Amino acid sequence: MIKQTSIIFLGIFLISLTSAIQVCGIYDNFSSGNLDYSKWNEYSNIRFTNEHLIENGIYHIQQNIEGDGETNLEPKRQFLNGESFSYELFYNSGNGNHASQPLINGDYPPTQIEICSASGGCGVIGFWNGIPDLEAQIGKYEVTFEFFQNQVRMTTVRPDEVEIVNTFTGNSEPYSLVINSHTGHNGLFYIDYDNFVLCSEKEESDLELRLTALEQRVDKIENRVGLLEVLINKIRGYFAFMTFSVKKNVLCLDLEESGDSKIEDFGISCEINEKEKCSCKF
């Protein structure tokens, strides 16, 4: 029991060294069947794509007539240092100029740390007068934005499982994020979005409250352990005055349950003999 108590206090010590913890949860998986306008802004600066709706539990965008179209999906919250936001993008088809890419604080990311040499741009899925770094592969893209004080890191795993990182600079927290899906004059595309996950750091004050509650629970456990030890000592004292047959029954039952072959206690010794019977002696 002393070892278990030590482990509990070690856990408390390690928790106390942590300033914050990351808590993740589903922001939206569109299971309601309708776009939740308490979580999202949906708008277009030119004209909406031909289709933009919740369909079969996913957010569906499609331009099926060549021409300029745009749908912006914006979470109704700002992002701070230490938070992350991720989602899945299913690229089904596309032709001409078409793209899915982020807008950070209302605009395309102005600069980035990595060298951007793709003719179609970086952080872009689709095609825009050239092939972007994320290309236009049929299948699932996994996209994650991590927010820092003065930069946003976009990590994308393409359908071919190649991971590409674009670290955007030129902005600072708090951040707004818009997922911009648009086509050019000759563009067509069919893209779905799903499983948006938000991760935030738990405030230190909340962690301290949890730590205090844990300490109180440990105190209660220790008190109960102390009472149990007193009770056990009293019981052992009573057994000292019990008859030989009572002591034998207790120790033989202990051997049977533990699977051991020998035990010594209460001033007697018991063992399981070759006939698998329990015999005891002083």
Segment 84-104 mean pLDDT: 98
The CA-based dihedral angle spanning residues 128, 129, 135, 138, taken in that order and rounded to the nearest 10 degrees? 70
Q: Among 5-19, 87-101, 127-141, 245-259, which stretch is predicted with the lowest mean pLDDT?
A: 5-19
What is the CA 132 to chain-centroid distance, rounded? 30
> Average per-residue pLDDT in the chain?
88
Backbone phi, psi, residue 127, to 5° = -155, 130
Domains of the chain: 21-202 (2.60.120.560), 242-282 (no CATH)
β-sheet bridge partners, residue 97: none
At residue 220 the predicted structure's pLDDT band, cuts being 50, 70 and 90, is: confident
Segment 253-268 mean pLDDT: 84
At residue 224 the predicted structure's pLDDT band, cuts being 50, 70 and 90, is: confident
* pLDDT at res. 9: 47
Q: Model-level pTM?
A: 0.67
For the chain, the 3-state helix, strand and coil shares in percent, each to the nearest 5, are 25, 40, 35
Strands of 64-133 (E only): list them. 69-75, 84-95, 98-104, 111-112, 125-127
At residue 236 the predicted structure's pLDDT band, cuts being 50, 70 and 90, is: low
pLDDT tens readout for residues 162-189? 999 999 999 999 999 999 999 999 999 9
